[in-house]
């Protein structure tokens, strides 16, 4: 089972468990999404309506504050100024000093 860690409470959220090997497992590798860099270079974003992002959107909607971390990135779900368009932002986690 793969896990994400809630950045607020530190709780672990299980996200992948194969029950029936005849069906493909949902992806937890979000590096293949069509990420676009922010102009300041400090993060990336992708449209939440992208079918490839559906699993990540589902996970973010269920998490506190619509945020998750996977040990490498912090993911956050937000809605555009139109109140309808969903965006997923990801930012690299900074190394602890």
- Per-residue pLDDT at 25 exceeds 50: no
- Per-residue pLDDT at 4 exceeds 60: no
73 strand-pairing partners: 92
What string of DSSP letters covers 35-64? -EE-TTSS-EEEETTSGGGHHHHHHHHHSG
- Per-residue pLDDT at 23 exceeds 50: no
Residue 71's pLDDT band (boundaries 50, 70, 90)? Answer: confident
| Annotated domain spans of the chain | 1-17+50-97
Is this structure's pTM higher than 0.75? Answer: no
Residue linked to tokens 């497992």: 25
């Amino acid at each position: 089972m793969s896990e994400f860690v809630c950045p607020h409470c530190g709780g672990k959220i299980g996200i992948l468990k194969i029950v029936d090997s005849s069906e493909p497992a949902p992806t937890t590798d979000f590096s293949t999404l069509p990420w676009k860099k922010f102009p300041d270079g400090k993060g990336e974003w992708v449209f939440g309506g992208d079918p490839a992002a559906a699993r990540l959107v589902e996970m973010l909607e269920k998490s506190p504050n619509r945020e998750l971390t996977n040990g490498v990135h912090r993911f956050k779900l937000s809605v555009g100024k139109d109140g309808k368009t969903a965006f997923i932002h990801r930012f690299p986690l900074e190394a602890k000093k």
